[in-house]
Structure 1
């Protein structure tokens, strides 16, 4: 019998990213149909299930510029990184980017992890401190935000980072450009946004 060895890249990968431990998950069909309002209020559905820019939405909600704190830029090669399965359509080798989205005054509003084809990341993120939407808008990049799934779950790390108790709502989506997927993004939003959007679930 011939032994089969897996690459050891996983052992040397940098810090992990903050995935939710799901209570409930919805696929692309749930995204297209929308959720019962008793499960997720309409204003939150616009934010989570719509195909608009979250950084732009956050700026409009808060009246402050949305700024980015980059906390991780790691080469992960061909590793699947425990990411949503759609990572497989993003060409490799890949680079993982993790950020906090916050107001200019410092309030954290969301967490995002994105996976990019490493050879093209500098093309799209010329200023890595800018939100992705701002970077792509400067380049006049035409793209399609394809929401693939939604999740409701817990994360102790995000509770500590947001200063808010869970559970949290998150989603993941692909960006398409010229008919090809070029990045996968996973976002989780802070319950602090109830200040602007109202309760996540009717009480």
Structure 2
């Protein structure tokens, strides 16, 4: 199955997060507190979900790694790796995530990519910085079918810069069942 967030997710609402305190103040007014916490969290979403819901999260890879030429991420004519996954708990798909990063062979061997990225980075004990780009709300038929729920769906896009490694760009879409458990 091939799911691509960029062309297939129809955004009904999209909030561009700027790197200033006023952006987060605006979000406090726009989102309920628990949803705000989920969308703006700097921690490992996998770990947070495991703690909040006492559930073990597993990774289901949809598409293995492959190279793409991408002009919209960092620079023109760079080669990137793209991965699409489901984060699953008790056979229930909780999160769809798509990640992109520059292909550097040394880094592939450094990270255990059979795990969620956040979990892999935590285990390597690398300091990292996350820059949230946007929070959105909308529809995507392919993802809704896999969640066994009709939309609307919440999602976010951000960049992680893990210490000395290349930046990783991530899009995440949350299942309605996950959103219900936090509200």
TM surpasses 0.5: yes
Does the CA contact (< 8 Å) of 1:124 and 1:136 recur in 2?
A: no
User: Any residues of structure 2 matched to 1:63-78 within 5 Å, and which?
Assistant: 63-78=54-69
Taking the aligned partners of 1:42 and 1:155, their CA distance within structure 2 comes to 25
What TM-score, normalized by structure 2, do the two folds share? Answer: 0.85
Cα offset for 1:102? 1.1
Structure 1 position 101 matched with structure 2 position 90: no
Please report how far the alpha carbon of residue 43 of structure 1 lies from its aligned counterpart in structure 2 after TM superposition.
Answer: 0.1
Q: Could you list the per-position Cα deviations for residues 71-104 of structure 1 after superposition, in whole angstroms to 9, with x for gaps in the alignment?
A: 1124233234xxxx4x12599310100000111x
**Residues 1:63 and 1:167: Cα distance change in structure 2 (over 3 Å):** same
Q: Give distance in 1, aligned partners of 2:5 and 2:85.
A: 11
Instruction: Provide the residue aligned with 1:11 in structure 2.
Output: none
Is the 8 Å Cα contact of residues 75 and 96 (structure 1) preserved in structure 2?
A: yes
Tell me the alpha carbon deviations over residues 24-63 of structure 1, each in whole angstroms, 9 at most, x when there is no partner: 11112375334365x5311011001222211111111220
Return the alpha-carbon distance in structure 2 between the equivalents of residues 165 and 40 of structure 1: 21
Distance 2:88 2:32 in 1: 23
Aligned to 1:32: 24
Equivalence for 1:17? 4
Kept in 1: contact 2:82–2:101 (CA 8 A) = yes
CA RMSD of aligned residues (A): 2.4
Number of equivalences: 177
The gaps in structure 2 that reach 5 residues or longer are none
Contact preservation (8 Å) 2:101, 2:166: no
Q: Which secondary structure does the structure 2 equivalent of 1:48 belong to?
A: helix
Rg larger in 1 or in 2?
A: 1
- Stretches of structure 1 that go unaligned for 5 or more consecutive residues are 1-13, 199-203
2:167 matches 1:182: yes
Distance 1:187 1:71 in 2: 14
Q: Normalising by structure 1, report the TM-score.
A: 0.77
What is the CA–CA distance in structure 2 between the aligned matches of 1:153 and 1:165, rounded to whole Å? 11
Deviation at 1:21, TM superposition (A): 0.8
Candidates 136, 149, 163, aligned match of 2:134: 149
